[in-house]
Amino acid sequence: MTVSTSPPPPRRIPALPLALGLALALLVSLVCGVALGAAGLDLPHVLRLLGAGLTGGRLEADEASAYAIVWQIRLPRTVLAAVVGAGLAATGVAVQALVRNALADPFVLGISSGAAVGANAVILLGAFSALGIWAISVSAFGSALAAMALVYLAARTAYGLTPLRLVLTGTALSYGFSAVTSLMVFSADRGEAARDVMMWLLGSLGGATWGSVPIAAGTVLAGLAYLACAAGRLDALAMGDETSASLGVDPDRLRRELFVVTAAVTGTVVAVSGAIGFVGLLMPHLARMLVGAGHRRVLLIAPLAGALLLVWVDIASRTLLAPAELPVGVFTAVLGVPAFLLMMRRRGHALGGR
């Protein structure tokens, strides 16, 4: 008589109740993100200011400064943190399906490194200075699109896009873009400019304004809508090209679509927040661990979890050493490394173990 030593199947959480719980937690976190900061504001006062802004209620004259802090500084920053977190998590799911690699994240295609070249050209060289506060975002997004075009042209063959060629091409060009960025920083005359570059490279939401929120939110929502519609095809793609083709899915066409969507979303969020790592790598695996591998369920949970994570990471970055601000990417790495190692131990069968 043989005794099976295989581990029992992991328990899954129903996706819809979990999504509702995450959405409620995100709503509460958004309010906390507005209330917490270097300038202390109690929660009832914040709720009153938010209500006055939404309904057009009257305020006292001495509340003008607090109202400006809530509506012009903290609220757009907190909303943008949620948008960026959701976008990075969703594109992480898409890129891992695109290249069929558990270690892939939104930056594996070289888009982030390409955006860094454009952002640094503004910070260090004053390029596009005529665009004012939009200079960094516009330049970063433009260079991200240029990087996307280069990766696509270099990786494409007569047989279409293959996962391995995409990863290798993106990695190689990423090294090249990083070398250009390093050369620009090395040649910079001002130390303060080099510090600003490092802040951008590690991610920061300090420059958030209401002007940047709609563009980022619209792009992320459009990307989420596409991915939700393509969830069934993503499941087929995960089973291999031959299987997906037998199910009526054109793997080459789907990869092209995924490449464009992930590049557009990644380029947009990186342009407004800098390069924030680990969110796009960690959240897809966390979602799969909780609700299973089906992309429809994963795409419901991962963006909400990514938004929730980044809201609280941003709160920590601007409150722990207030009034100084720490890069957001430092906190995502500090949280992401042990969390990912823990998930590897718990999900070894899916991440290279037994």
**Sign of the CA dihedral with 201 first, then 206, 212, and 214 last:** positive
Longest CA–CA span in the chain (Å) reads: 82
Per the domain annotation, does 254 fall within a domain?
Answer: yes
Q: Which residue stretches of the chain have pLDDT < 70?
A: 1-11, 190-192, 346-354
pLDDT of residue 164: 83
pLDDT of residue 1: 46
pLDDT of residue 350: 52
Whole-angstrom CA distances from 227 to 19, 30, 161, 186, 292 are 17, 25, 19, 40, 17
Per the domain annotation, does 60 fall within a domain?
Answer: no
Place of tokens 């998590």: 89
Per the domain annotation, does 12 fall within a domain?
Answer: no
User: What span, in angstroms and rounded, lies between the C-alpha atoms of 352 and 116?
Assistant: 32
Task: State the total domains in the chain.
Answer: 1
- CATH, residue 309: 1.10.3470.10
SS3 348: coil
Per the domain annotation, does 21 fall within a domain?
Answer: no
Whole-angstrom CA distances from 333 to 228, 275, 281, 327, 344 are 28, 12, 11, 11, 16
Per the domain annotation, does 30 fall within a domain?
Answer: no
Per the domain annotation, does 161 fall within a domain?
Answer: yes
pTM score: 0.89
Domain range for 313 is 78-346
Backbone angles phi, psi at 187, to 5 degrees: -85, -5
Per the domain annotation, does 134 fall within a domain?
Answer: yes
pLDDT of residue 157: 80
**Within a 10 A sphere around the Cβ of 156, how many other Cβ atoms?**
17
Per the domain annotation, does 323 fall within a domain?
Answer: yes
Question: Cα–chain-centroid distance for residue 270?
Answer: 8
N- to C-terminal Cα separation, the chain: 23
Q: Which residues pair with 160 in a beta bridge?
A: 157
Backbone angles phi, psi at 139, to 5 degrees: -65, -40
